[in-house]
């Protein structure tokens, strides 16, 4: 059954449409976890801590791709909903070419100043070589990493979510196999993990690029760009929340690492790194769903189909609630297993990781609603509300919690700082959803027209 953006979405149809995006995000996160597993178990916790100290820098640069991908998809999907396919393709081409230009420039600058950046992150003489080793190689593929993030959204808007899933599987297999070869067999340590990741990112970015350049039957194709500063700024404004989320996440991770070094030493950084790798997998469910449903929201907003907006919103709230509870319970069950897998060679580190992850996992009860609320307003081309939610969630509240909770209530409370920040953000998200409903009309009784619910 071919599913189109213009369809009415029953629960089954919506699930089928977003499932490839969810699986794609989970799979992408899983092969990131493999990096951490091999480095931690074959190169040791010092190399693992060094990798996790410099990783937020690479992720921060790559966030430009998230911004253009989500904000640009909202813009292009709305244009498609308005019935102007030629204009949509011109906008799409402009955005992709902009990402490539930015990626090349950012790579050159980051390579030049990487040692200074690592020192700024408090890398000592033991951690610095691993930071530079991983960072030098990882930066070489950052442009393809950006494109991979861009195309995750645009492949959904082009009605080709399964192609996005296939590309992610191929890239992931390349990463996992090369991790085993480079780190497990050749013992290249952090450099081997970086090389494996770089190859997978080239696959993930280059293959969709070739697809969109070719004569394809999807809604989108790369060609002559429609250079328009207003459209570019609008895409950036729409996606500012995703940029803020990912940049803030990198900044918060840097602060986390610095604080953990002070309270727990190298083990604290390593334990947090393990939690973050596992967290990527859990959060990818919320991210994958939000990315998958966003083009539908953008399309029906452009088509002024309020009944379908209500339908999509109500189903999304139910899915997010169910997923959040499931993630929390699964995290409690798997915390001991994850600790043994990543740090079984060090009993103290394993025990710290197990306790910390069990505390951290309470955030999953609230994360999904905040992630979806931000993505939902991005899809509605309301970058201001989306950015306000993201800024509060990923930076303002988290910074306050990380800095204050350990001082006021003891070092162990740093592990629940994310949960406290998510609860504060949920209050803000709900208030925005209530106040903005009159403008967009997404809440209320869901649509009953179209196919019956299964």
Q: Residues 95-121: pLDDT tens digits? A: 999 999 999 999 999 999 999 999 988
| Of the candidate ranges 1-5, 93-97, 390-394, the one whose mean pLDDT is the lowest | 1-5
Q: What local confidence, expressed as pLDDT, does residue 445 receive?
A: 52
CA distances from 329 to 61, 369, 370 (A): 33, 17, 19
Confidence of residue 32 (pLDDT cuts 50, 70, 90): low
DSSP 304-347: T-HHHHHHHHHHHHHHHHHHHHHHHHHHHHHHHHHHHHHHTT-H
Closest C-alpha among 252, 445, 283 to residue 374: 283
Confidence of residue 286 (pLDDT cuts 50, 70, 90): very high
Confidence of residue 451 (pLDDT cuts 50, 70, 90): very low
Percent of the chain with pLDDT over 90: 38
pTM: 0.69
Residue 124: pLDDT above 70? yes
- How far from each other are the two terminal CA atoms of the chain, in whole angstroms? 15
Residue 280: pLDDT above 70? yes
The top-scoring range by mean pLDDT among 36-50, 192-206, 231-245, 270-284 is: 192-206
CA 63/CA 60 separation, integer angstroms: 5
Confidence of residue 33 (pLDDT cuts 50, 70, 90): confident
| Of the candidate ranges 50-64, 309-323, 354-368, 414-428, the one whose mean pLDDT is the lowest | 50-64
Question: Residue 111's CB: how many other CB atoms inside 10 A?
Answer: 13
Residue 446: pLDDT above 70? no
Task: Convert the pLDDT of each residue in 306-344 to its tens digit.
Answer: 888 899 999 999 999 999 999 999 989 988 888 888 787
| Of the candidate ranges 16-20, 173-177, 420-424, the one whose mean pLDDT is the lowest | 16-20
- Overall average pLDDT of the 169-182 stretch: 90
DSSP 45-107: HHHHHHHHHHHHHHHHHHHHHHHHHHHHHHHHHHHHHTT-HHHHHHHHHHHHHHHHHHHHHHH
Closest C-alpha among 234, 231, 230 to residue 384: 234
Task: For the chain, give the mean pLDDT.
Answer: 86
More confident of the two residues 148 and 53: 148
Q: What local confidence, expressed as pLDDT, does residue 392 receive?
A: 87
Burial 140-178 (b: 16+ CB within 10 A, else e): bbbbbbbbbbbbbbbbbbbbbbebbbebbeebbebbbeb
Confidence of residue 241 (pLDDT cuts 50, 70, 90): low
| Of the candidate ranges 201-205, 279-283, 371-375, the one whose mean pLDDT is the lowest | 279-283
Residue 40: pLDDT above 80? no
Q: What local confidence, expressed as pLDDT, does residue 242 receive?
A: 67
Q: What local confidence, expressed as pLDDT, does residue 194 receive?
A: 92
- List Cβ neighbours of 279 (8 Å cut-off, separation of 6 or more): 360
Q: What local confidence, expressed as pLDDT, does residue 149 receive?
A: 86
Q: Are 391 and 335 in contact (CB under 8 A)?
A: no
Task: Convert the pLDDT of each residue in 214-238 to its tens digit.
Answer: 988 888 999 999 999 999 988 888 7
With H, G, I as helix, E, B as strand and everything else as coil, classify residue 43: coil
Residue 13: pLDDT above 60? yes
- Overall average pLDDT of the 82-100 stretch: 94
Q: What local confidence, expressed as pLDDT, does residue 142 receive?
A: 94
């Amino acid at each position: 059954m071919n599913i189109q953006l213009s369809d009415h979405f029953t629960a089954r149809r919506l699930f089928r449409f977003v499932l490839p995006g969810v699986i794609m995000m989970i799979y992408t996160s899983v092969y990131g976890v493999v990096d951490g597993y091999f480095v931690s178990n074959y190169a040791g916790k010092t190399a693992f801590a060094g990798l996790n100290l410099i990783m937020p820098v690479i992720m921060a640069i790559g966030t430009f791709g998230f911004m253009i991908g989500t904000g640009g998809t909202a813009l292009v999907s709305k244009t498609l909903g308005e019935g102007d396919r030629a204009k949509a393709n011109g906008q799409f081409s402009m955005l992709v070419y902009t990402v490539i230009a930015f990626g090349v420039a950012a790579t050159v600058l980051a390579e030049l100043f990487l040692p200074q950046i690592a020192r700024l992150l408090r890398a000592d003489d033991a951690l610095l070589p691993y930071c530079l080793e991983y960072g030098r190689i990882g930066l070489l593929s950052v442009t393809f990493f950006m494109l991979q993030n861009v195309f995750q959204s645009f492949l959904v808007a082009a009605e080709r979510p399964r192609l996005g899933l296939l590309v992610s599987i191929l890239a992931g297999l390349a990463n996992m196999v090369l991790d085993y070869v480079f780190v497990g067999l050749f013992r290249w340590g952090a450099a081997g993990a970086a090389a494996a990741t770089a190859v997978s990112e080239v696959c993930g970015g280059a293959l969709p690029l070739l697809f969109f350049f070719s004569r394809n039957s999807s809604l989108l194709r790369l060609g002559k760009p429609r250079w328009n500063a207003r459209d570019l700024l609008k895409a950036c404004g729409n996606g500012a929340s995703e940029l803020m989320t990912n940049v803030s996440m990198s900044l918060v991770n840097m602060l986390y690492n610095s604080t953990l070094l002070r309270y727990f030493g190298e083990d604290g950084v390593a334990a947090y790194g393990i939690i973050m790798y596992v967290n990527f997998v859990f959060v990818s469910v919320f991210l994958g769903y939000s990315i998958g449903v966003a083009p539908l929201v953008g399309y029906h907003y452009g088509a002024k189909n309020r009944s379908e907006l209500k339908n999509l919103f109500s189903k999304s709230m139910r899915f997010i609630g169910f997923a959040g509870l499931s993630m929390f319970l699964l995290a409690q069950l798997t915390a001991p297993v994850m600790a043994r897998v990543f740090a079984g060679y060090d009993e103290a580190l394993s025990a710290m990781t197990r306790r910390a992850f069990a505390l951290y996992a309470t955030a999953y009860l609230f994360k999904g609603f905040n992630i979806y609320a931000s993505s939902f307003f991005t899809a509605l081309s309301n970058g201001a509300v989306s950015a306000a939610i993201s800024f509060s969630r990923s930076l303002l509240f988290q910074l306050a919690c990380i800095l204050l909770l350990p001082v006021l209530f003891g070092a162990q409370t740093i592990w629940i700082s994310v949960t406290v920040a998510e609860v504060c953000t949920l209050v803000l998200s709900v208030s925005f959803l209530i106040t903005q409903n009159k403008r967009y009309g997404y809440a209320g009784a869901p649509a009953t027209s179209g196919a019956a619910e299964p």
